[in-house]
């Protein structure tokens, strides 16, 4: 669907703001903020969603995390509320987990800095006192998980009469977590004439039904629906590494230390990231240079000449900066952030593997972005192999092998006269093998090999859900366990585990409360995601029995999850939590 877009104002163009964002009708204060954040152009979802949301339309958007959807709804909504009455909730954003509530509230604060809007994240597990105080003082935007929002509504501490816009973010996940009725109850408390936007990574019929009930003639947006042309993706070796957000930078450093590419393009999303990553890589001894839209032509020319001559090995760039450049074929393209569309990915990796040469495309993502990666894989029909981040030991072995091969080259080339006398003298003093080992140690140290480093925790990678196996309670609620199946599970076979079996790499956690205590699968997923600070999509099958529940979690995280759950209350009660050791089929827990 096409929308009219406002022409960028003369004022915003004159100030040199991103014409892409200005063309969407965003006001100068927001353009300033985007400029400060180093955003160079809108992502596809932002281009499509911002104009209709600014115009007050309802919206149904299919977009995964990592596409820039938070800014897509936040920017227009902030602009709409910034000049109206303040300090009573004007925007309510509902999200599935505490982690996301915090993250979205941070984004809203960041985007609303110039407009001075106040934001409050509201989620379960957090003391209610400070939330009550903040709500009483008044806020403009509330970002809440459905359970806690409903709590406040019942206590009459959250009034929704003044709400102009409601956003349902990651709606499919909220439904998977059993929040459907809560959503209905919350929306009922908001004015009928409100604006509603619903975002979901998938659009199963139950999302369509909730959209039908609560959205008025929504503009529908679906990003990346068309498969790309066959053969659009170059035939290069494609690898992805999945690590927690806080470890991404370290993982990138480790991967580049391991690969030691001679000519690589490293893509980041923002100018600020480009500068930070360049500084980090330079600090580790890589020959890296930045290129982005904030640089003038002579600066860019200098960087490009240095890259073309091979003096610079890693060119760290934003898409916008790279677009206009005549870049020679590189050995590696590295995505420090996934591009926001499959087309963007294909465009980036097309810089390597040209003219029959070998090429490698490497992507580092956080677990929330796996769906975007899977979309790219589907649309390009090319396999992206999810690989563990190299360990400290892997890197050590690789460095030593590299030194060995360099020494063999030097031996073959000869011309060692200058060094032979010293080598002979050292060998006469001691054992020649020890002398060689000491020389190796010196080279190893000079190459940063003795830097103190830690292994990066593995994050389980997961396969997208099969349409027939949603994360929904199955069977007769009285005689069958309420069971939710894993939504994703790459690297492990997708099979319903049942109580007798276990999925490879997964452990089962026993929780001493079940249906009789009012437990629903969503309570357990929410508690684990929130208390252990994990993305809920790492959680596998959930079975709620009458008196107890079983939850499948990645083996590597089991201990951490058990400790976190033992400290917390589930549905207001302290419950026993332990590792569940499999019984023979039919055995009772």
Give CA separation, 559 vs 533, 548, 554, in Å: 14, 19, 10
Express the helix, strand and coil content of the chain in percent, nearest 5 each. Answer: 45, 15, 40
Residues 42-61 that bind ligand AMP (CB under 6 A): 42-43, 46
Q: What is the DSSP string of 169-222?
A: TTHHHHHHTT-HHHHHHHHHTS-TT-EEEEEES---HHHHHHHHHH-SS-EEEE
Q: Does 269 bind ligand AMP (CB under 6 A)?
A: yes
Residue 152 is a binding residue for ligand AMP (CB under 6 A): no
Query: Closest approach of Cβ 299 to ligand AMP, in Å?
Result: 21
How far is residue 179 from each of residues 175, 276, 291, 474, 523, measured CA to CA in Å? 5, 40, 45, 16, 10
CA 394/CA 389 separation, integer angstroms = 9
**Residues of this chain, 196-235, that bind ligand AMP according to CB under 6 A:** none
Applying CB under 6 A, does 271 fall inside the site for ligand AMP? no
Question: Which run of H or of E encompasses 530?
Answer: helix 521-531
Interacting span for ligand AMP (CB under 6 A) from 37-45, 130-138, 186-194, 283-291: 37-45
51 in Cβ contact with 325 (< 8 Å):
no
Shortest Cβ 372–ligand AMP spacing (Å): 8
Position among 70, 165, 263, 380 found at the interface with ligand AMP (CB under 6 A): 70
Residues in the chain: 589
- Residue 354's Cβ-side half-sphere holds a number of Cα atoms within 13 Å equal to 12
Nearest distance, CB of residue 39 and ligand AMP, angstroms: 4
Q: Which of 8, 51, 61, 66 binds ligand AMP (CB under 6 A)?
A: 66
Nearer to ligand AMP, 66 or 497 (CB): 66
Q: With helix as H, strand as E and coil as C, how does 42-78 read?
A: CCHHHHHHHHHHHCCCCEEEECCCCCCHHHHHHHHHH
Q: What's the closest the beta carbon of residue 43 comes to ligand AMP, in angstroms?
A: 5
Q: Which of 17, 39, 179, 307 binds ligand AMP (CB under 6 A)?
A: 39
The answer to whether 196 touches 165, Cβ cutoff 8 Å, is yes
Minimum Å gap between C-beta 560 and ligand AMP is 24
Which range touches ligand AMP (CB under 6 A), out of 40-48, 83-91, 136-144, 393-401? 40-48
Q: Is 293 a residue that touches ligand AMP (CB under 6 A)?
A: no
- Nearest CB to ligand AMP, comparing residues 367 and 540: 367
- Mark 352-391 with x for binding to ligand AMP (rule: CB under 6 A) and - for no binding: ----------------------------------------
Q: Which of 157, 162, 189, 270 binds ligand AMP (CB under 6 A)?
A: 270
Distance (Å, whole) CA 418 – CA 423? 10
- 67: contact with ligand AMP by CB under 6 A: yes
What's the first-to-final CA gap in the chain, in angstroms?
Answer: 55
Is 270 or 282 the residue whose CB approaches ligand AMP more closely? 270
Contacts of 129 (CB under 8 A, 6+ apart): none
Minimum CB distance to ligand AMP smaller for 104 or for 577: 104
Contact 21, 42 (CB under 8 A): yes
- Judged by beta carbon, residue 99 or residue 523, the one nearer ligand AMP is 99
Closer residue to ligand AMP (CB): 270 or 490 = 270
CA distance 367 to 244: 7
Asked whether 544 and 482 are in contact (CB, 8 A), the reply is yes
* Cβ at position 75, least distance to ligand AMP in Å: 9
Query: Cα(244)–Cα(242) distance, rounded to whole angstroms?
Result: 7
* Options 41-49, 179-187, 450-458, 482-490: segment touching ligand AMP (CB under 6 A): 41-49
Stretch that binds ligand AMP, among 38-46, 412-420, 454-462, 489-497 (CB under 6 A): 38-46
β pairing state of 91-94 and 141-144: parallel
Closest to 46 measured CA to CA, from 167, 203, 164, 223: 223
Nearer to ligand AMP, 9 or 270 (CB): 270
Does 111 interact with ligand AMP (rule: CB under 6 A)? Answer: no
Work out how close the CB of 200 gets to ligand AMP at its nearest, in angstroms, rounded to a whole number.
Answer: 13
Residues that bind ligand AMP (CB under 6 A): 39, 42-43, 46, 65-71, 269-270
């Amino acid at each position: 669907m096409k929308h009219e877009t406002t022409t960028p104002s003369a004022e915003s163009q004159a100030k040199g703001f991103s014409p892409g964002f200005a063309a969407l009708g965003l006001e100068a204060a927001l353009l300033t903020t985007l400029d400060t954040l180093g955003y160079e152009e809108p992502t596809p979802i932002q281009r499509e969603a911002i104009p209709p949301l600014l115009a007050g339309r309802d919206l149904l958007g299919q977009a995964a995390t990592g596409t820039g959807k938070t800014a897509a709804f936040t920017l227009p909504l902030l602009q709409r509320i910034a000049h109206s009455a303040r300090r009573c909730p004007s925007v309510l954003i509902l999200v599935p987990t505490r982690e996301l509530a915090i993250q979205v509230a941070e984004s809203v604060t960041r985007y609303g800095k110039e407009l001075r809007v106040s934001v409050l994240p509201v989620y379960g597990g957090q003391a209610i006192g400070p939330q009550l105080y903040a709500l009483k003082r008044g806020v403009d935007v509330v970002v809440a998980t459905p359970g806690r929002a409903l709590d406040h509504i019942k206590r009459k501490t959250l009034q929704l009469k003044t709400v102009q816009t409601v956003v349902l973010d990651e709606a499919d996940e909220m439904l998977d977590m059993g929040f459907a009725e809560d959503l209905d109850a919350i929306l009922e408390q908001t004015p009928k004439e409100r604006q509603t936007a619903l975002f979901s990574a998938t659009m199963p019929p139950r999302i369509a039904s909730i959209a039908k009930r609560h959205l008025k003639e929504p503009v529908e947006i679906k990003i990346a629906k068309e498969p790309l042309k066959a053969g659009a993706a170059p035939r290069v070796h494609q690898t992805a590494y999945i690590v927690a957000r806080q470890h991404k930078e370290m993982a990138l450093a480790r991967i580049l230390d391991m690969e030691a590419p001679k000519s690589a393009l490293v893509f980041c999303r923002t100018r600020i990231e480009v500068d930070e990553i360049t500084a980090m890589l330079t600090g580790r001894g890589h020959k890296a240079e930045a290129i982005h839209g904030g640089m003038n032509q002579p600066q860019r020319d200098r960087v490009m000449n240095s890259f073309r001559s091979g003096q610079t090995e890693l060119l760290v760039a934003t898409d916008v900066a790279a677009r206009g450049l005549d870049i020679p074929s590189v050995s590696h393209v590295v995505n420090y952030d996934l591009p926001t569309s499959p087309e963007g990915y294909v465009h980036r990796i097309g810089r390597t593997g040209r003219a029959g040469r070998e090429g490698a495309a490497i992507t580092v993502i956080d677990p929330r972005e796996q769906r975007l990666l899977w979309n790219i894989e589907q649309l390009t029909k090319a396999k992206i192999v999810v690989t563990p981040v190299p360990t400290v030991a892997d890197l050590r072995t690789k460095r030593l092998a590299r030194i060995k091969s360099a020494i063999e080259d030097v031996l073959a080339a000869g011309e060692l006269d200058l060094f032979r006398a010293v080598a002979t003298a050292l060998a006469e003093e001691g054992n020649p093998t020890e002398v060689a080992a000491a020389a190796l140690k010196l080279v190893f140290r000079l190459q940063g090999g003795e830097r103190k480093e830690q292994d990066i925790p593995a994050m389980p990678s997961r396969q997208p859900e099969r349409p027939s196996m949603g994360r929904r309670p199955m069977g007769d609620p009285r005689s069958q366990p309420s069971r939710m199946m894993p939504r994703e599970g790459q690297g492990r076979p997708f099979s319903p585990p049942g109580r007798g079996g276990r999925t490879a790499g997964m452990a089962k956690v026993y929780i001493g409360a079940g249906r009789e205590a009012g437990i629903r699968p969503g309570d357990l997923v929410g508690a684990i995601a929130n208390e252990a600070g994990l993305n809920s999509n790492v959680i596998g099958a959930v079975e709620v029995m009458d008196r107890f529940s079983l939850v499948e979690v990645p083996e590597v995280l089991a201990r951490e999850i058990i400790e976190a759950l033992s400290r917390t209350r589930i549905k207001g009660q302290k419950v026993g939590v332990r590792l569940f050791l499999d019984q023979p089929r039919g055995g009772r827990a």
